[in-house]
């Protein structure tokens, strides 16, 4: 069986790693916010507002997880020969927080895909509009050339 020193050391190392990930995420989120275009559509503003909320919640969950994992070895596993309810509740909370993090990541993935699909469709619409405009200009140019040179009847040699 593991001794308390190795469990405490492993828990502190894991908590430190989670804390480092949370701090890195915090800096990344700030950088990303600063790089956003200021002239966003309402749909984009809504998307980024929801994304910021989700990611801030994820950041808070990571910090709580780090704290829970760091503190958990300090709680006795057994009290009076029976399982300690506090220890069980702390680890249940840790597992639930991990599930919540996974759910947030999944929701973020879906939202990002919807955002990308909306922008892809806008790009395709703009491309189609541009192609129609180019086709119309070419048609007008051909009609103009035919009117200037009626002898060629639209055939260039």
The pTM score is 0.76
Per-residue pLDDT tens over the stretch 118-146: 999 999 999 999 999 999 999 999 999 98
**pLDDT tens digits, residue range 31-40?**
999 999 889 9
The closest of 60, 68, 70 to 23, measured between CA atoms, is 60
Ordered by start, the domain boundaries in the chain are 4-119
Q: Buried b / exposed e across 74-113, counting CB within 10 Å, b at 16+?
A: eeeeeeeeeeeeebeebeeebeebeeeeeebeeeeeeeee
């Amino acid at each position: 069986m593991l001794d308390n020193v190795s469990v405490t050391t492993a828990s502190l190392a894991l908590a430190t790693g989670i804390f480092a990930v949370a701090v890195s995420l915090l800096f990344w989120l700030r950088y990303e916010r600063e790089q956003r275009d200021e002239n966003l559509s309402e749909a984009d503003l809504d998307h980024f507002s929801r994304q910021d909320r989700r990611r801030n919640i994820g950041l808070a969950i990571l910090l709580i997880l780090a704290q829970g994992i760091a503190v958990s070895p300090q709680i006795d596993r057994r009290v009076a020969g029976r399982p300690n309810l506090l220890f069980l509740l702390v680890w249940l909370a840790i597992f639930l927080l991990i599930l919540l993090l996974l759910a947030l990541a999944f929701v973020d993935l879906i939202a990002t895909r919807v955002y990308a699909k909306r922008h892809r469709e806008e790009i395709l619409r703009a491309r189609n509009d541009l192609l129609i405009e180019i086709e119309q200009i070419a048609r007008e140019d051909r009609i103009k050339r035919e009117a200037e040179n009626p002898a060629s009847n639209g055939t260039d040699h």
